[in-house]
Amino acid sequence: MEMDVQPKWEASAQDATRVRLYVDGNPVEAPAGARLLDVLLKDQPDFPHICYHPALGPIETCDTCLVQVGDELLRACSTPVQAGMMVRTQAPAARLARKQAMDRLLVNHELYCTVCDNNNGNCVIHNTAMAMGLNEQAEPFTPKPYAVDDSHPFYRYDPDQCILCGRCVEACQNLQVSEVLSIDWERDRPRVIWDDDVPINESSCVSCGHCVTVCPCNALQEKSMLGEAGYLTGVEKTTLRGLIDLTKQVEPGYRPIFAVSEVEAKLREARIRRTKTVCTYCGVGCSFDIWTKDRKILKVEPQMEAPANQISTCVKGKFGWDFVNSPERLTKPLIRRGDAFYEASWEEAIEYIGQRLTDIRRQHGDDSIAFISSSKCTNEENYLMQKLARAVMHTNNIDNCSRYCQAPATEALRRTMGLGGDTGSISDLALADLVIVVGANTAESHPVLATRLRRAQKKHGQKLIVADLRKNDLASRANLHLHPKPGTDLVWLNAVAKLLLDSGRYDEAFVRERVEGFDEYAQSLAPYTLEYAERVTGLSAQELQQTADMIANAKRLSICWAMGVTQHRGGTETSTAICNLLLLTGQVGRPGTGAYPLRGHNNVQGAGDFGCAPAFLPGYERVDDAQVRAKWEAAWGVTLPTNKGLDNHEMVDAMHDGRLRAMYLVGEDMAVVDSNANYVEAAFEKLDFFVVQDAFFSKTAQFADVILPACPSLEKEGTFTNTERRIQRLYQALPPLGDAKPDWQIIQMVANRLGANWNYTSPREIFEEACSTTELMKGATYERLEGYRSLQWPVAEDGRDMPLLYTEQFALPGGRARFCPVTWQEPVAYEETYDLHLNNGRMLEHFHEGNLTYRVRGLREKVPMTFVEVSPELAAERRIEDGALVRLVSPYGSVKVRAVVTDRVAGRELYMPMNSPKDEEAVNRLTSSESDVITHTPAYKEVRVRLEVLGDKGASPLGRNNPRRHQPHPKPGVEVEKKWARADYRPLVGKLRADEAEREAAAWQNL
Amino acid sequence: MAKPVTTVVPAQTDEAEAQAKAMERLQQMAAADVDALAEALRLARALHDRGLLTLAAALLEQADDVLRIVVDFVNQPGAVRGLKNLATAAQALGAVDLEAFGRLAQGAVASVDEAKADRKALETPLGFFKLLAYLADPDVSAAIRLLLAACKGVGRALRAEAEGAPVAGAGSSANRTAAGGAASDAGTGGESAAAGA
């Protein structure tokens, strides 16, 4: 399925007019306009085709799918079916042409399958040559005059093996849309080039891996596969060359070579495991197969059936998994004694935890202990964690780190529309006519989702408005880039809403029929005049009017937002303003429309869905609702607490004032990711007892009394829920390292020591207990999530799910949505000496604080340290050079980092990534304890600092190997016309002359 | 007051206990597979007695060097030709219809036996006219036709090689024209030439 160009065969089969055509004399029915190749492949799955890939569409470079239609040879990949079409796949002219096409490809590719690391049963060239019964080639393989490009840490390009099909170029230019790769057709021997022909590692390549994934052979290959995948591929290069030469000289034809390589490929299956997993690096929810040999990770192999991403990945998902084998992994429980941690047995550690928590509870009460779960852990683990807090320890002091990012968006959606999740799917974003991105660096934080937007814009004319302080990737591509003053998004959103309202350009019928509270909302907009908005936001009236015009002209509008909106004192209010705007314009509940808060971690959505928040039980069922409590009490056989629980933010204050005495924290480096890190660390020091469960010895773990070694996602089973509310299963790819255990097992051990008497033997049991008790996910079962199947909640008991919400009614009383008038919260005020605004956020190459990704060598090479981005204007004013050491000072702390001078930031605004290999450089040494007034999400984005130039000039933190140093090279695609225009190109398609047809038929018969 | 701590003291591993645990596990595994283990030991003893275990270990230890030497040696023109001949002979043998060949061989054996039985005839020289008379014999004539057909094939191949026409083979220096290749794609069998014209 090419997700947004060609409708899915099955879907289109129902909608489109069906026509009858004839294939080799047999009648076949297909939707009018369907791709002929797709139709042929239904009955002839082995029908040759190499450059065509369902995610990319026709590329037309290889000519291996030629068929005869009437008296003409056509490429089946680019021919739409028509009624009465007479297609002959086996006509001699077509077969001969296909053989010639294959011969031409093999001039560019040496077949040495048995000793090739791509011989794994899925090599497109190998399989096509086999299916064609190829035994020899008419023209010999001739090497190209180019060296192998081995420069990149994760993949290499071997020009000699490249058949110039252009799949990689199409994927880079039009699916990922990073626009780096092209084929230089002008050369005597064409080849793929990066940018204007530079080494891969010195290009604008963002290492997403699309090109490697779609390569039909071994020209582009993951370095982790080289010398590892095959039984004979690990031998020395010169010996390998000898083996290849020998095989080719001795074998009388390809068939025996293919037979041997088929056997060898089968043998590989005995030692290479392919396991479906779900990525943990953001909320998009990419799923793929991961290939492992013992504990070694050979590669990530995306699959077309993956519902969120198909074949797309980003650099972390494709290449960022080696941390699981890091020698720094925690493999044994550790217990603090004096000034050191001592390795201990599980029994010893659990017994100690049990004793201490029991004592503290007895002495200080139920609410003296708090639990923090993890948006990186599975739904099952989150469910157990809140069950431990509530059902075993009788407290609602349970939260997770979505408090740090998405709680305001969830609250805004809940109060205006009813459910705290994205209203549609990623596919809706691709369908929209206009997408507005507010306060989100989507290309770096949700890279695969950004590919859908870039593709929709480039290929289908989707319009894009980006409101952000930085000229990030999407902002630089946007039709309109709004750069408001920090913290003023609510003002321009309301001003635009007022413009639309005043000019009557809103969906009056939708508002009347489906939304409550219009009058009050309309009145609340009165102060947001153009003049006021210009003054507060710094945007011009023209920009605001253009925004309103673009919204008014869009049939389908979707709005995405993230931390640039939520991490403010007015995070919930601004999120609500976005929802209000969508309701006013009737842009919810239809395909291509809706509200999309982009979840930052793999299971931010699921951690909330499964009850890790003080006010909500699983399924967002309210703790303060007696009926709800009664249901869960019956299910769990306990009495539930009624006290209001503490959220993360409140917990820190409670540690300081002595109300909170102990904490059990899972999978979160709270010491450096919570705002005002120095204050948080001081709070940890005051705890009587602290249990930290993690895969690594994090900064937070340093404050613990007991550290429990947990397994990362590849070592366990379970489910995650992505930003689309999509529940997906992950399967165990590796055994736990050392004595580490999956989190669900550890939580159960702790719970049982505290008297729970649980007996879960698998995550399946946990999941099904949780879902069957909720109303939201009643019908979700492991069977319905088998393999790549997924469910987007709400899930009815019969298994029906809901990819698009609110098509009929909203999830609020009466089925109607609700306008919620909002109030603008002025950003935190600072003394004048703090004269620079410090923006902060993620980077593409690293995840969150970098705990995992700095342990992947290639990622660390790409971005070895944190830094501060300084605008060219400020750099000139303060004489700051690239690489200069500077100190940033806020009222809460200071850090020393190197500067990167870039026009991604402007004026007196700085930007600092939140990832850092050194705890003392973390941006949260500078952030405050201010928070969203409604949900307590820290106001990370409201920081001002002063900058001191320290005079030590070093190398730039972003070296030549960083893609940000280089300019992309946009092309329309592969530009196959340039190939066809070459003097040495002999066309294989076109009308057959009568004599030609006869001659070729005779030639075929003679063979 | 829990100040941050980064020192980790590894557990004192009790060697004796670890060894005892390992032995216990080994014993359990041995008990579960006692027959297979006994057979494996017999094989190991035989290999050891013949010195093959030492040889195998040495080969594995020096695998890269050994493989390089073997490949270098086998890649010499003579050795390549030998392997090629072997492959070609195997292919030729594979092409022979054994049933038909069997019938031919049986016929030949029967005739040879017949001829051997006529001791007198064996002692008499075969004259020119007698030879011509044999040609008129339908059995002899059929056999000569077969031999001549084989000669024709050999001659055609010889001439083709002298004229520099291509020799089929993977990755060889073949230079056949684009139209000269042979394939039956998709393995489904094509239309007849007449149908395609």
How far is it, in rounded angstroms, from Cα B83 to Cα B63? 22
- The verdict on a CB contact (< 8 Å) between B186 and A1007 is no
Q: Which token pair is A562?
A: 């993230």
B-chain CB neighbours of A690 within 8 Å are: 2
**The pLDDT value given to residue A585:** 98
Q: What is the CATH number of domain A334-405+604-794?
A: 3.40.50.740
Rounded to the nearest integer, the mean pLDDT of chain B is 72
How far is it, in rounded angstroms, from Cα A758 to Cα A1? 44
How far is it, in rounded angstroms, from Cα A86 to Cα A35? 15
C-beta of residue A751 within 8 angstroms of C-beta of residue A386: no
Q: What is the ipTM of this complex?
A: 0.81
**The pLDDT value given to residue B180:** 32
**Which residues are within 8 A (CB) of A821 and not within 5 positions of it... i.e. 6 or more apart?**
A517, A520, A521, A523, A524, A580
Rounded mean pLDDT, B135-148: 80
Coil, helix or strand at residue B172: coil
**The pLDDT value given to residue B176:** 28
* pLDDT band, residue B178 (cuts 50/70/90): very low
Distance from CA of A189 to the nearest CA of B (A): 19
The least confident of A172-176, A360-364, A1001-1005, B180-184 is B180-184
* Minimum CA–CA partner of A704 in chain B: B2
Distance from CA of B124 to the nearest CA of A (A): 48
Write b or e for each residue in A502-532: b if 16 or more Cβ atoms lie within 10 A of its Cβ, otherwise e: eeebbbeebbeebbbbbeebbebbeebebee
Q: Which residue has the higher pLDDT, A909 or B71?
A: A909
Q: Which token pair is A428?
A: 């809706």
Choose among B3, B91, B168: nearest Cβ to A685: B3
C-beta of residue A785 within 8 angstroms of C-beta of residue A285: no
Going edge to edge, which strands form the sheet with A594-597?
Answer: A480-482, A463-467, A434-438, A557-561, A594-597
* pLDDT band, residue A389 (cuts 50/70/90): very high
**The pLDDT value given to residue A66:** 97
* pLDDT over 90 (residue B116): no
**The pLDDT value given to residue A139:** 87
pLDDT more than 70, % of chain A? 97
**The pLDDT value given to residue B164:** 60
AA identity, residue A302: P
What are the C-alpha distances in Å from A578 to residues A112, A438, A585? 58, 9, 11
B-chain CB neighbours of A248 within 8 Å are: 170-172
Judge whether B182 is closer than 8 Å to chain A, CB to CB: yes
Give pLDDT tens digits for A761-798. 999 999 999 999 999 999 999 999 999 999 999 999 99
* Minimum CA–CA partner of A330 in chain B: B8
C-beta of residue A563 within 8 angstroms of C-beta of residue A472: no
What are the C-alpha distances in Å from A293 to residues A123, A215, A217, A265, A738? 19, 22, 21, 14, 18
**The pLDDT value given to residue B193:** 34
Coil, helix or strand at residue A57: strand
A vs B, Cβ pairs < 8 A, gives 204
Rounded mean pLDDT, B170-190: 36
* pLDDT band, residue A306 (cuts 50/70/90): very high
Widest pairwise Cα distance in chain A: 100
A-chain CB neighbours of B76 within 8 Å are: none
- The verdict on a CB contact (< 8 Å) between B181 and A138 is yes
CA A823 to chain centre: 33
Q: Which token pair is A446?
A: 């949700």
Domain range summary for chain A, segments of one domain joined by + = 1-92+979-1007, 106-322, 334-405+604-794, 414-596, 836-965
Give pLDDT tens digits for A35-53. 999 999 999 999 999 999 9
* pLDDT band, residue B185 (cuts 50/70/90): very low
Judge whether B13 is closer than 8 Å to chain A, CB to CB: no
Which helix (H) or strand (E) element contains residue A318?
A: helix A315-319
* pLDDT band, residue B59 (cuts 50/70/90): confident
- The verdict on a CB contact (< 8 Å) between B5 and A1004 is no
**The pLDDT value given to residue A475:** 97
Of A154, A40, A150, A38, the closest CA to residue A87 belongs to A40
**The pLDDT value given to residue B68:** 78
CA A955 to chain centre: 31
Rounded mean pLDDT, A175-194: 97
Distance from CA of A699 to the nearest CA of B (A): 8
* pLDDT over 90 (residue B54): no
Which of B93, B185, B191, B192 to probe the A interface (max A CBs under 10 A)? B185
Rounded mean pLDDT, A275-301: 97
C-beta of residue A19 within 8 angstroms of C-beta of residue A30: yes
**The pLDDT value given to residue B189:** 42
- The verdict on a CB contact (< 8 Å) between B179 and A89 is no
A-chain CB neighbours of B91 within 8 Å are: 252
Which helix (H) or strand (E) element contains residue A11?
A: helix A9-15
- The verdict on a CB contact (< 8 Å) between B188 and A44 is yes
Rounded mean pLDDT, B11-29: 84
Exposure of A96 in the CB half-sphere (CA atoms within 13 A): 27
Distance from CA of B90 to the nearest CA of A (A): 10
Q: Crossing angle for the helix pair A530-537 and A541-553, nearest 10 degrees? A: 110
Of A812, A770, A398, the closest CA to residue A613 belongs to A398
What single string gives the DSSP state of each residue in A734-777?
SPPSTT-B-HHHHHHHHHHHTT------SHHHHHHHHHHHSSTT
**The pLDDT value given to residue B174:** 32
Q: Which long-range contacts link A355-364 to residues 24+ away (Cβ below 8 Å)? A: A356/A662, A356/A688, A356/A689, A356/A705, A357/A393, A357/A662, A357/A664, A357/A689, A357/A754, A358/A754, A360/A661, A360/A662, A360/A688, A360/A689, A361/A393, A363/A661, A364/A661
Rounded to the nearest integer, the mean pLDDT of chain A is 94
How far is it, in rounded angstroms, from Cα B191 to Cα A1000? 13
CATH 3.30.160.250 fits A1-92+979-1007, yes or no: no
Choose among A248, A997, A1005: nearest Cβ to B171: A248
Domain range summary for chain B, segments of one domain joined by + = 21-61, 126-164
User: Phi then psi for B190, rounded to 5 degrees?
Assistant: -90, 180
**The pLDDT value given to residue B181:** 35
Burial of A80 per CB tally in 10 Å (0-12, 13-18, 19+): middle
How far is it, in rounded angstroms, from Cα A541 to Cα A562? 25
C-beta of residue A587 within 8 angstroms of C-beta of residue A556: yes
AA identity, residue A357: L
C-beta of residue A137 within 8 angstroms of C-beta of residue B181: yes
How far is it, in rounded angstroms, from Cα A72 to Cα A789? 42
How far is it, in rounded angstroms, from Cα B195 to Cα B197? 6
- The verdict on a CB contact (< 8 Å) between B176 and A339 is no
What would be the CATH architecture of the domain defined by A836-965?
Answer: Beta Barrel (2.40)
- The verdict on a CB contact (< 8 Å) between B174 and A137 is yes
Write b or e for each residue in A544-577: b if 16 or more Cβ atoms lie within 10 A of its Cβ, otherwise e: bebbbbbbbebebbbbbbbbbbbbbbbbbbbbbb
What single string gives the DSSP state of each residue in B49-88?
HTTHHHHHHHHHHTHHHHHHHHHHHHTSHHHHHHHHHHHH
Q: Which residue has the higher pLDDT, A365 or A111?
A: A365
* pLDDT over 60 (residue A3): no
* Minimum CA–CA partner of B85 in chain A: A250
What would be the CATH architecture of the domain defined by A414-596?
Answer: 3-Layer(aba) Sandwich (3.40)
**The pLDDT value given to residue B96:** 67
Rounded mean pLDDT, B85-99: 71
**The pLDDT value given to residue A111:** 87
* Minimum CA–CA partner of B75 in chain A: A246
User: Phi then psi for A489, rounded to 5 degrees?
Assistant: -60, -40
Judge whether B95 is closer than 8 Å to chain A, CB to CB: no
Beta strands of A259-360 (E only): which ranges?
Answer: 273-278, 287-293, 296-302, 334-337, 340-343
Give pLDDT tens digits for A82-104. 999 999 999 999 999 999 999 99
How far is it, in rounded angstroms, from Cα B81 to Cα B60? 29
C-beta of residue A674 within 8 angstroms of C-beta of residue A680: yes
Write b or e for each residue in A268-300: b if 16 or more Cβ atoms lie within 10 A of its Cβ, otherwise e: beeebebebbbbbbbbbbbbbbbbbeeeebbbb
**Which residues are within 8 A (CB) of A436 and not within 5 positions of it... i.e. 6 or more apart?**
A464, A465, A466, A467, A547, A551, A557, A558, A559, A560
**The pLDDT value given to residue A743:** 98
Q: Which CATH number, 3.40.50.2300, 3.30.70.20, 3.40.1360.10, 3.40.50.1390, labels domain A106-322? A: 3.30.70.20
Q: Which residue has the higher pLDDT, B169 or A728?
A: A728
Give pLDDT tens digits for A701-711. 999 999 999 99
**The pLDDT value given to residue A6:** 36
**The pLDDT value given to residue A584:** 98
How far is it, in rounded angstroms, from Cα A201 to Cα A845? 14
Of A859, A704, A954, A684, the closest CA to residue A154 belongs to A859
* pLDDT band, residue A241 (cuts 50/70/90): confident
A-chain CB neighbours of B75 within 8 Å are: 242, 245-246, 249
* pLDDT over 50 (residue A835): yes
User: Which residues are A292's β-sheet partners?
Assistant: A273, A297
